[in-house]
Amino acid sequence: MSGTDATDGSASPGTARQTRLDDFLARLEGHPWFSCLGEPTSAADQEEARLLAQGLMVGDLGVAWVGDLHAAAALLRRVDHSRAWMDAEAAEVQRLTDRTETAFGAMDTTDGLNRVMHRASDMAIGPAAIACARAGIANEALPKVAAGAAAHAAHGMALVLAAEAPAGHIFAARFRLFSGGRWPLTVAGGMFHVL
C-alpha cells in the first residue's frame, strides 16, 4: 500500500487510516481503565450508555447501572443475555469489517485490528486485576473477562476509525465508557447493564 498519491504527494487513504490506528494505539496507554466502577455516574456517562443501549435498535432498552464488581460478576453468570443484541452487534462488526477490508484489504485490516486488541488487553489487565483486588474478589477469571471486554471495545473503536464511521457510532460510545473508567457489561432482562 503506497504512502502517498503519485500525482500530488498527498497522503493516501491507507496512510491516513494507519495514522489514525497508530494514534489510537498510542492513546490506549493513558486510559483510566476500570477506575470509576461503582462511582456515581456523570451526565456524559449516562448519555454514552443511552446511545449504546439504543444504538442497535434491539427493542426499547433501558440502562441499569450495576453497583459493584460483585454484582457485575453475578450478572455475567446469568444465562438470559440477549441473543438479539449479540447478533445485531456481530452484524455491525461484519458490516464495518467488510467496508474496511474493501478499502484496505483483508490482511492489513486483520493485522491492524489484532494489534489494537492485543495492546488494549495488555493495558487493561493490570487495572482490572487491581479493581478486583480492591473489591475483595479473588476470582482470577474476572480480570481476564474485563480485559477481554476492553479489548473488544477497542476493536470496535478501531473499526469505527478505519471505516470512517461517525463519532456517534455505538462502538465509539462503548469505547468512551471504557476509556472513562466504566465497564459496559451486557444486555439482559431488557436492560443494558453498565458498571
Residue 10 lies in a domain: no
d(C-alpha 65, C-alpha 77), whole Å: 17
Contacts for 133-138 with beta carbons within 8 Å, 24 or more apart? 135/37, 135/68, 135/69, 135/70, 137/69, 137/70, 137/73
d(C-alpha 193, C-alpha 85), whole Å: 13
| SS3 state at 119 | helix
45-65: per-residue pLDDT in tens? 999 999 988 887 777 889 999
Residue 122 lies in a domain: yes
Residue range(s) defining the domain that contains residue 115: 33-194
Beta bridge partners of 63: 192
Is 116 in contact with 154 (CB distance < 8 Å)? yes
Residue 20 lies in a domain: no
Residue 15 lies in a domain: no
Residue 63 lies in a domain: yes
Q: With bands split at pLDDT 50, 70 and 90, how would you rate the model's confidence at 13?
A: low
User: Which residues in the chain belong to E strands, given as ranges?
Assistant: 62-65, 184-188, 191-194
Task: Find where cell 455475567 sits.
Answer: 76
Residue 77 lies in a domain: yes
pLDDT score recorded for residue 14: 61
What does pTM read for this prediction?
A: 0.88
71-112: per-residue pLDDT in tens? 999 999 988 888 998 999 999 999 999 999 998 888 888 888
State whether the Cα torsion 139-172-88-153 is positive or negative.
negative
Residue 161 lies in a domain: yes
Q: With bands split at pLDDT 50, 70 and 90, how would you rate the model's confidence at 9?
A: very low
Residue 64 lies in a domain: yes
Domain count, the chain: 1
| SS3 state at 185 | strand
